[in-house]
Amino acid sequence: MAIGGAGARAEHTRMTRLIEKAQSLPTTGQRIDFISRALVGAPYRSYTLIGGPRKAEKFVTRDDVFDCVTYCEAVLAAALVRTPADYDDKLRQIRYRDGVVAWRQRNHYFAQWCDNNIANNICTRVGMPGGFSVDKKLYWMPGLGAPRMAVAGIPRASLLANKSMLATGDVIAFMSPRPRLDYFHTGLIVIAPTGEPRLRHAAQSRGRVLEEPLARFFSVNHVKAATVLRPRERSDVVMQAGQRCFT
């Protein structure tokens, strides 16, 4: 789940078109479904973000290649705005704590991503029977120290048994068994007409954005638990400063 490194900024003309086309869809989940489907097949690329402990952070808005996190961020930002002009501000709010473009403000660990995007009212946490929290001391990203975080999870068996509690547009993150890492991958849930949950994600092993059954991903990757967040409806998003966001 690479979310840092070197790359180049590209104009997001594709995302502009998708934002404009998605405006007729009334819910966040429907817009996420439309936009994420349009990006299926896009190439996977790690390390597209620019910045480091001793390198200036640059705001990257590429829509031609993705890793698992930047795919979720791009789709979510596009689904939550009313005009393409608002896309950059929303992406900054999602990617960086307080929307401040700085390497240490970037959500390097997805546990930080979850906490910050719940705090800023972008998402809410989805709970299910058997949910738990594990305290982890994270040390995977050099230069960030070793933050201790509570990582909330839902056991695989409970999540698949309660699949009716999932919704199209949910963000899902798969917990890592490694003691110093929180999650190893993330993606978006879409509910098929049959009611089966499917996973849309940028997969390094497959080299592209693809869709597959969620149960298959759990089985193939021996996932034991996951975290699920639900994006709020656009009119419910509130800025951290306490003002309603009309983007």
pLDDT of 235 strictly over 70: no
Place of tokens 């009119």: 235
* Cβ(50)–Cβ(60) below 8 Å: yes
pLDDT at 193: 96
**pLDDT one-digit tens code per residue, 123-144:** 999 999 999 999 999 987 778 8
Strand partners, 152: 133
pLDDT at 140: 79
* Cβ(175)–Cβ(226) below 8 Å: yes
pLDDT at 124: 97
When pLDDT is cut at 50, 70 and 90, the band that residue 8 belongs to is: very low
> What beta strand segments (E) does 5-95 contain?
50-52, 55-58
pLDDT at 31: 98
When pLDDT is cut at 50, 70 and 90, the band that residue 185 belongs to is: very high
Mean pLDDT score of the chain: 90
Cα(58)–Cα(96) distance, rounded to whole angstroms?
A: 12
Tokens encoding 232: 């709020």
Residue 63 CA, chain-centre distance (Å), reads 15
**What residue type is 239 in one-letter code?**
M
pLDDT at 243: 38
* Mean pLDDT value of segment 99-119: 96
* Mean pLDDT value of segment 105-129: 96
Q: Which of 4-18, 76-90, 167-181 shows the lowest mean pLDDT across its residues?
A: 4-18
The DSSP string of 150-210 is EEEEEEHHHHHHTGGG--TT-EEEEEPSSTT-SEEEEEEEEE-TTS-EEEEEEETTTTEEE
Between residues 81 and 142, which one has the greater pLDDT? Answer: 81
* Mean pLDDT value of segment 209-221: 97
Cβ–Cβ contacts within 10 Å for residue 174, how many?
Answer: 24
* Cβ(144)–Cβ(102) below 8 Å: no
pLDDT at 156: 97
Q: Greatest CA separation found in the chain?
A: 50
Contacts of 2 (CB under 8 A, 6+ apart): 46, 47, 67, 204
* Cβ(120)–Cβ(231) below 8 Å: no
Domains detected in the chain: 13-121 (1.10.3670.10), 123-231 (2.30.260.10)
Portion of the chain with pLDDT greater than 70, in percent? 90
pLDDT at 143: 80
pLDDT of 237 strictly over 70: no
Contacts of 140 (CB under 8 A, 6+ apart): 109, 180, 181
